[in-house]
A and B are shown apart, each in its own frame.
Chain A
Amino acid sequence: MPIPEIRRQILIFYNMDTTKIYLEFSKEEEELLNSNNLTVSDILKEAGIEADVEYGVIPSNHETARTKDIVPIIIAASTSIVSISYAITMILSVIYKRPRLVKIYENELIRDENQAPILDKEGNLQYRKIEKYQLFEGQDDKMENFEFKTNLKDGVVLKITSDTNKK
């Protein structure tokens, strides 16, 4: 299925810090991307967003089990998170008309009383997730209405789903 025409944005990030945006799709979204032979790089390219895409795992909290899935990680300027969320949800909504819920999990370092980061047994940094939501209903939404107030210094997880009941 061809990618529809969407509002193209070219964002130029001079002198801006970059951040890692971990993208986590629900099963349905992932199936949608796979069946349309789409990757996140394709979407970003189509939306005119300049960002590198790597693969990795979502920073885990202290857990007693690890999943074996790999997610795309967008390396982008901190301020581009809104554009990226917008572009992805826009494309998915056009391909498969449904409202989409974007959840943002900010990864905040867990620190002790002296503000030193807490490590697990294997020396990994420990994060706590701070959860925020934004419902994105389709083509009529405008990017200006689609905003998160985020603190991105430790990376952010974007979870995109069409299951809007969890809001």
Chain B
Amino acid sequence: MAKKAFLIGANTFGLSFANNDVMLLNEALQKHDYEIIIPSLSKSDILTKFDSFVDDCKKNDTIIFYFSGHGFTPKGSLQLVIGEELTKNKDQISIDYITGLIEECKAENKLIILDCCQANAITNNWNPSQSERYRILTASEKLEKGKEIDAFKASFLTFYIHKALYNSETIFNHKETISINDIYIWLSEQTEIFNSQNNSIKVPFPNLLGNQKINFPLALNKYTIINNSQSDSNSQPLTQIKTMRYIRERCRIYIKGSDKFNEVMESLISNKYTKKELDNYKREIISFTTKYESHMALAAYHEKKGKIEMMLDILNVNLRGQEESSRLLYRALVLEKLDRIPEAINDLYSILLNEHNIELVKAAQFNLNVCYEKKNDYAKVDFTKFFIYKDMFFAGNERLSDKAITMHLIVCHKTNQEFLYDLELMDVFQFQAKNNPIGYTKTLLIYFLLQRKKISRDEIYNIYKLTDNMSINNKVAVLSKLLPQFDKETDVDVIMKIIHDLKDEYEVSKSYTLSKFIDETLLNLKQ
């Protein structure tokens, strides 16, 4: 299962960075264990080495052919330019030759990357079968112009492919494997961001050809997984990462309006609705008469329906004063979720520049910290300054201070700092256990997943006592994570006491969930 890449960069006709492009891609692919072949820029050397490259492929191999340079299409057929005498054949290579050989080779996964102009003209003679694991990533649509950018010292497409692969642990931190579709989606997002921030230089959107359902992996996020497993053999990296994402995504917006509006928004944002209720909200949203309320509620409704692009369109409305700040705050939250961090930061700074309402300002500052945390720019992150805001709430029953403490816990974990706020954390547990059982459960989960130190038997029991006022479902969710923290050998008496309490509760509630949990716990103890 070898991974191999054939890289060509030709600085012809004034291009300056095609060689840099090859070096960048070489660096990124070597990090992911690719064998690299870089031929000299003579047609004979390229073709000889390419023939061997293709001939040596074996079943299960993943191969990449990459070209950076000028592309041109005399009579519609794409030619890769390797020299400057284009009236002669020696200075150009027909892409049809490349695609033909790759189609015939034995490798399982095949990818061509063309960082040149008119790259989509490749489709004129390229028709692989739908089942073939053969994709082509191009810098542009047909007849559009790929670009190299002085500020990057590289071509746009290659610069971002390098970034995606070289920093895959941070960019795709929730994924074990990085597929061609993942990279393409991320590249498209980066293009959109770049074009929105640059008036003078616009770059074309990349294009990914071939059967969209054929989504093979290009790289593994092995370093993230190894680090986690080395530091804590019992840790569950994926669960942990999902938990972190869940925290980020909840309740960091400040949206207020009429009572009815507040009621609808709180239900939507806190996920307190059934499917039927969600449909009913549409009717209520139509009844909102102000521009602010109707747009915000409709955006929240579409978010819950998973129509994020539509939601962003709806949020593209000009409002005034605090309403405008609320709109920007909400949009920043969505952009951050979509990993469009620079745009989110832009919106948040707009709020900080124009807004005076202390709650909105604090919400923007807090979200700014979350954005920088997500970028791993920890020098700009300080959640401890939000610990004092115990009376400030966002949507639902989430206290700003609680969220800040939990986020600080995550930052300490990621930066290997010692977490010094155990007392504050216990306060979070106590408050959430009474007022926000769902938040309590989440905080607890994060605490166990991220804190490496051994939790004492008394601490576990104290946390258990905090579940007294929780609903049965929440209690079971918490206990299912809590009980494994006990030592089965030495703490069996405490576990049995808890089981005894639960049995008493079952006698009253006759809850099936509870009885099932008790049975499973007892079975686990016997084993």
Contacts and interface: CB of A to CB of B under 8 A. Distances in A.
Interface of A: 27, 30-31, 33-35, 37-39, 53-57, 60, 64-70, 122, 124
B13 A70 contact: yes
B106 interface: no
B145 interface: yes
Interface in B194-210: 200-201, 203
24 contacts: A31-B142, A31-B143, A33-B76, A34-B75, A34-B76, A37-B75, A38-B75, A39-B74, A53-B87, A55-B72, A55-B87, A56-B13, A65-B147, A66-B148, A67-B147, A68-B15, A68-B71, A68-B145, A68-B147, A69-B71, A69-B118, A70-B72, A122-B16, A124-B14
A70 B71 CA distance: 7
Contacts of B69: 68
Contacts of A68: 15, 69-71, 115-117, 139, 145-148, 155
B81 interface: yes
B72 A69 contact: yes
Nearest to B152: A65
B149 interface: yes
Q: Which of A30, A60, A65 has the most CB of B within 10 A?
A: A65
A55 to B, nearest CB: 4
Contacts of B116: 68
A53 to B, nearest CB: 8
A145 B149 CA distance: 42
B111 to A, nearest CB: 20
Interface in B95-144: 115-118, 121, 139, 142-144
Contact of B13 (A27, A38, A57): A57
B145 A69 contact: yes
A57 B147 contact: no
B86 interface: yes
B224 interface: no
Given A39-B75, A70-B72, A70-B86, A65 B148 contact: yes
Contacts of A64: 149-151, 200-201
B14 A65 contact: no
Contacts, number: 79
B75 A66 contact: no
In order of increasing CB-CB distance, the 10 nearest A-B pairs are: A34-B76, A70-B72, A55-B86, A67-B145, A69-B117, A68-B117, A27-B143, A57-B13, A64-B150, A65-B201
Interface string B426-447: 0000000000000000000000
Nearest to A122: B16
Q: Which of A38, A39, A56, A122 has the most CB of B within 10 A?
A: A56
A68 B17 CA distance: 11
B474 interface: no
B137 to A, nearest CB: 15
B275 to A, nearest CB: 46
Contacts of A54: 86-87
Given A37-B76, A66-B16, A68-B139, 17 more contacts: A33-B76, A37-B75, A39-B74, A55-B74, A55-B86, A55-B87, A57-B13, A57-B70, A65-B203, A66-B15, A68-B69, A68-B115, A68-B145, A69-B70, A69-B118, A70-B70, A70-B117
A56 B70 CA distance: 10
Contact of A65 (B75, B84, B115, B149): B149
A59 to B, nearest CB: 9
A8 B423 CA distance: 93
Nearest to B74: A39
Nearest to B116: A68
B485 interface: no
Nearest to B119: A68
Contacts of A33: 76
Contacts of B73: 30, 34
A142 B112 CA distance: 48
B46 to A, nearest CB: 18
Nearest to B124: A34
Nearest to A40: B74
A60 B72 CA distance: 18
B496 to A, nearest CB: 71
Nearest to A54: B87
Q: Which of A30, A38, A54, A66 has the most CB of B within 10 A?
A: A66
A66 B76 contact: no
Given A27-B143, A67-B146, A68-B71, A35 B76 contact: yes
